[in-house]
């Protein structure tokens, strides 16, 4: 399809994104695996973009992983979601911003269900009132945290210290995007660009100087599959999905993978390690992997933040090839340092996958 | 009319997920699970819409309904607005309600999810709470995970977390009153009842299989369901 055709299609899938005053709900996966990303999100929102973002200390998981692994009944999930809405209402906010894509999908699904089944909404309101005494208003605006960075991608570009450009050749870095399945596959009109041409990440990539690379398995799942990863006996499913994607993207020699779901970067990072150790196969240059980034990490890098403040040291696939290609300054001796600058220990090296330490 | 079909109809997701399937197979073509497992969502939807009581009961007791990864790619593609993934969620809920889940290897794994993710939600307010969860259970996490486990507190502080702290922040301690509210919601809306059923039916199955059954993760039955794979599930 010609580029004009694609643009015409995704223009049908624009969404309203609130301009300020966000109620932020954290991600269970991102907090455990990419804590630096949530720290970077709030720093960029508050200090670079001067936005009001509120986090309520009493908000909890939305139960999403349990819901999609089917241990949590739908009524329970809807009532926990209603409690988050109540906390937002009580705090005087109307714009809900989840860090997690599974949560974003769940909030979207719950609102859609209530739209079609008002009696279900009424039942959940009763459950919430009885269990907690709380009441709530429906959010005026629901946007994933990556939607917010998409909205302000030009502002971030204006403040940027680096661009996604090879400092030696002057050519743009080749970037593949991986959109979390529950961002737009369930409700295409709730994602920027819909399910076919989601541009939430490509908008950032292009604005920050990179080149978007298309490849056949671009929209295939990373392989979380909830119970398919959580239970050890099922993990073949998970690695097989990631493997399918790596094999498909490999010929295009991407410099990096950019993600918006908290789980996907973990799987695309860790399964590269596992495939290397199990099969001896690596997908990056010279025995390294393809670095995988969250959108918060990439935004932080272009803004000139210290890579180790962003948490790139918790990745198994080394990110240094990208840092070196762009010319981002970093101190390799501080990679594994604690907040006082001391290095209590460093990770062992994998047997096959090459890493920087 | 099938009684099981009527039970499925009580689930709002089933009402949303099944209109009229034309058996085109588009869902199977796009399905991530079908590219790995012996799995065909088209056949599942066709079986369910046949309303055949015996066939639906067989499905509820099978490994088949546990192969889906709930990526919901089927939702995007179905030309008739069905969502096999939502039908699967209703089937799994009913399978647990009736205790049929313990009749399949994949179904029995629900106890493992309940005792990990379910317990973390109740104890901490997070679906994942991974301090102490090491590469023995998750070898794919690699040496960086070993390093993170060893220096968990140090690197969480480095990355701006409020680990186990009061107030907002990453992996903060969620106040006890908030956890109490979550537990009350669980009691009122069916999660506690489902957890109890998973435990009760799993205990009976453990006795039947002559495997030691105990609390937590360190017992024969848990280890068996967590790691056993009879190698008949995948394509080729």
Domains of chain B with CATH codes: 3-106 (1.10.1060.10), 108-227 (no CATH)
Q: Residue A61's closest CA among B74, B98, B145, B124? A: B124
How far, in Å, are A79, A110, A222, A288, A293 from residue A269 at the CA level?
34, 31, 10, 11, 9
Min Cα separation A307/chain B (Å): 11
How high does pLDDT run on average in chain A? 96
Tell me which residues of chain A, numbers 45 to 74, contact chain B at a CB-CB cutoff of 8 Å: 55-61, 63-66, 68-74
User: CB–CB of A234 and B109 under 8 A?
Assistant: yes
In chain A, where the domains are located: 19-145, 162-334
Which residues lie across from A24 on neighbouring strands? A97
Tokens of A176: 């593949």
pLDDT value for B84: 98
Counting DSSP H helices and E strands in chain B, the numbers are 15, 0
Express each pLDDT in A63-95 by its tens digit: 999 999 999 999 999 999 999 999 999 999 999
- pLDDT for A38 beyond 90: yes
Q: Residue A38's closest CA among A49, A20, A53, A17? A: A53
Chain B residues with CB under 8 Å of A116 CB are: 16
Cβ neighbours, 10 Å, residue A21: 15
- The residue-averaged pLDDT of A96-125 equals 98
pLDDT value for B212: 98
* Beta strand segments in chain A, E: 22-25, 53-54, 95-98, 141-142, 174-178, 211-212, 256-259, 292-294
Nearest CB neighbour to B143, from listed A71, A219, A348: A348
CB pairs under 8 A between A and B: 268
pLDDT value for A304: 98
pLDDT value for A292: 98
- The residue-averaged pLDDT of A42-55 equals 98
- The pLDDT confidence band at residue A327, using thresholds 50, 70 and 90, is very high
Nearest CB neighbour to A60, from listed B150, B168, B178: B178
Tell me which residues of chain B, numbers 87 to 126, contact chain A at a CB-CB cutoff of 8 Å: 89, 92-93, 96, 105-106, 109-110, 112-114, 116-118, 121, 125-126
pLDDT value for A6: 65
Measure the CA–CA gap between A83 and B178, rounded to whole angstroms.
10
In degrees, rounded to 5, the angle at the alpha carbon of residue A94 between the alpha carbons of residues A46 and A111 is: 125
Nearest-10 Cα torsion for A177, A178, A181, A183:
-40
pLDDT value for A14: 80
* Domain A19-145 is found in CATH 1.20.1050.140: yes
- The pLDDT confidence band at residue A13, using thresholds 50, 70 and 90, is confident
pLDDT value for A357: 81
- The pLDDT confidence band at residue A12, using thresholds 50, 70 and 90, is low
A142: three-class secondary structure by DSSP: strand
The helix, strand and coil proportions of chain B, stated in percent and rounded to the nearest 5, come to 60, 0, 40
Question: How far does Cα A151 stand from its chain's mean position?
Answer: 15
Measure the CA–CA gap between A39 and B170, rounded to whole angstroms.
8
- The residue-averaged pLDDT of A97-119 equals 98
Measure the CA–CA gap between A317 and A285, rounded to whole angstroms.
12
Walk along chain B (236 residues) and give the pLDDT tens digit of each residue.
Answer: 689 999 999 999 999 999 999 999 999 999 999 999 999 999 999 999 999 999 999 999 999 999 999 999 999 999 999 999 999 999 999 999 999 999 999 999 999 999 999 999 999 999 999 998 999 999 999 999 999 999 999 999 999 999 999 999 999 999 999 999 999 999 999 999 999 999 999 999 999 999 999 999 999 999 999 999 999 999 76
Q: Residue B69's closest CA among B39, B98, B99? A: B39
User: CB–CB of A315 and B146 under 8 A?
Assistant: no
- The pLDDT confidence band at residue A1, using thresholds 50, 70 and 90, is low
Q: Which chain A residue's Cα is nearest to B117?
A: A66
Q: Residue A298's closest CA among A103, A144, A150, A99? A: A150
- pLDDT for A2 beyond 70: no
User: CB–CB of B127 and A338 under 8 A?
Assistant: no
Question: How far does Cα A311 stand from its chain's mean position?
Answer: 14
The proportion of chain A whose per-residue pLDDT surpasses 70, expressed as a percent, equals 97
**A35 interface with B at CB cutoff 8 Å:** yes
Chain A residues with CB under 8 Å of B229 CB are: 233-234, 236
The residue with tokens 């008949």 is B232
- pLDDT for A181 beyond 90: yes
**B174 interface with A at CB cutoff 8 Å:** yes
Q: CATH number for the A162-334 domain, one of 3.40.50.11810, 3.40.50.300, 3.20.20.10, 3.40.640.10?
A: 3.40.50.11810
Express each pLDDT in B42-76 by its tens digit: 999 999 999 999 999 999 999 999 999 999 999 99
**A226 interface with B at CB cutoff 8 Å:** yes
Structural contact between residues B212 and B221, judged by C-beta atoms closer than 8 angstroms: yes
- The pLDDT confidence band at residue A9, using thresholds 50, 70 and 90, is low
- The pLDDT confidence band at residue A207, using thresholds 50, 70 and 90, is very high
**A76 interface with B at CB cutoff 8 Å:** yes
pLDDT value for A4: 74
Which residues lie across from B234 on neighbouring strands? B37
Structural contact between residues A30 and A259, judged by C-beta atoms closer than 8 angstroms: no
CB half-sphere exposure, B111, CA atoms < 13 A: 32
Min Cα separation B189/chain A (Å): 5
Chain A residues with CB under 8 Å of B78 CB are: none
- pLDDT for A341 beyond 60: yes
Min Cα separation B2/chain A (Å): 23
The residue with tokens 């949303």 is B16
- pLDDT for A10 beyond 90: no
Predicted ipTM > 0.90:
yes
- The residue-averaged pLDDT of A209-226 equals 97
Nearest CB neighbour to B189, from listed A29, A75, A240: A75
Measure the CA–CA gap between B213 and B220, rounded to whole angstroms.
6
Chain A residues with CB under 8 Å of B147 CB are: 336, 345-348
Chain A interface mutation, best of B144, B168, B217, highest count of A Cβ atoms under 10 Å? B144
Measure the CA–CA gap between A98 and A101, rounded to whole angstroms.
7
């Amino acid at each position: 399809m010609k580029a004009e055709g694609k643009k015409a299609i995704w223009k049908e899938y624009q969404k309203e994104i609130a301009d300020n005053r966000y109620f932020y709900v954290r991600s269970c996966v991102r907090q455990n695996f990419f804590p630096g990303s949530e720290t970077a999100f709030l720093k960029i929102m508050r200090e670079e973009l001067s936005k009001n973002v509120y986090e309520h200390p009493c908000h909890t998981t939305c139960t999403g992983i349990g819901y999609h692994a089917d241990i949590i009944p739908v009524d329970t999930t809807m009532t926990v979601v209603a409690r988050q809405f109540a906390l937002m209402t009580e705090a005087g906010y109307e714009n809900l911003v989840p860090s997690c894509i599974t949560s974003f999908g769940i909030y979207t699904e719950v609102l859609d269900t209530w739209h079609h089944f008002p009696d279900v909404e009424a039942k959940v309101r009763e459950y919430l009132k009885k269990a907690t005494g709380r009441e709530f208003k429906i959010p005026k605006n629901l946007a994933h945290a990556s939607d917010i960075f998409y909205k302000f991608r030009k502002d971030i570009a204006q403040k940027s210290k680096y661009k996604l450009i090879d400092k030696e050749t002057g050519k743009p870095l080749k970037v593949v995007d991986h959109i979390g399945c529950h961002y737009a596959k369930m409700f295409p009109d709730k994602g920027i660009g819909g399910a076919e041409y989601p541009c939430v990440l490509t908008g950032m990539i292009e604005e920050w100087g990179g080149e978007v690379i298309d490849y056949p398995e671009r929209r295939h799942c990373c392989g979380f599959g909830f119970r398919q990863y959580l239970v050890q006996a099922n993990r073949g499913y998970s690695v097989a999905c990631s493997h399918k994607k790596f094999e498909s993207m490999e010929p295009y020699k991407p410099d990096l993978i950019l993600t918006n779901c908290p789980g996907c970067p973990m799987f695309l990072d860790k399964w590269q390690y596992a495939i290397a150790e199990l099969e001896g196969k690596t997908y990056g240059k010279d025995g390294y992997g393809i670095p995988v980034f969250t959108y918060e990490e990439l935004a932080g890098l272009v803004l000139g933040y210290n890579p180790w403040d962003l948490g790139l040291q918790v990745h198994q696939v080394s990110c240094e090839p990208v840092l070196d290609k762009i010319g981002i300054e970093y101190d390799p001796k501080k990679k594994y340092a604690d907040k006082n600058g001391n290095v209590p220990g460093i990770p062992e090296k994998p047997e096959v996958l090459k890493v920087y330490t | 009319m099938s009684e099981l079909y009527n039970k499925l109809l009580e689930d709002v997701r089933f009402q949303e997920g099944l209109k009229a399937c034309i058996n085109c197979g588009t869902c199977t073509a796009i399905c991530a699970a079908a590219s790995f497992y012996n799995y065909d969502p088209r056949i599942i939807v066709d079986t369910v819409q046949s309303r055949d009581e015996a066939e639906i009961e067989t499905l509820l007791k099978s490994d088949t309904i546990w192969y889906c990864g709930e990526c919901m790619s089927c939702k995007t593609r179905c030309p008739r607005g069905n969502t096999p993934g939502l039908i699967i969620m209703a089937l799994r809920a009913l399978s647990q309600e009736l205790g049929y889940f313990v009749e399949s290897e994949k179904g029995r794994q629900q106890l493992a999810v309940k005792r990990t993710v379910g317990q973390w939600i109740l104890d901490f307010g997070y679906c994942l709470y991974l301090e102490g969860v090491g590469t023995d259970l998750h070898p794919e996490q690699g040496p960086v995970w070993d390093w993170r486990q060893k220096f968990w507190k140090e690197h969480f502080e480095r990355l701006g977390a409020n680990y186990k702290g009061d107030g907002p922040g990453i992996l903060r301690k969620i106040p006890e009153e908030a956890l109490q509210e979550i537990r009350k919601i669980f009691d009122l809306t069916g999660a506690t009842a489902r957890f109890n059923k998973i435990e009760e039916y799993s205990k009976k199955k453990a006795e039947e299989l002559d495997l030691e059954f105990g609390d937590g993760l360190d017992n024969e039955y848990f280890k068996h369901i967590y790691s056993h794979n009879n190698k008949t599930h995948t394509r080729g």
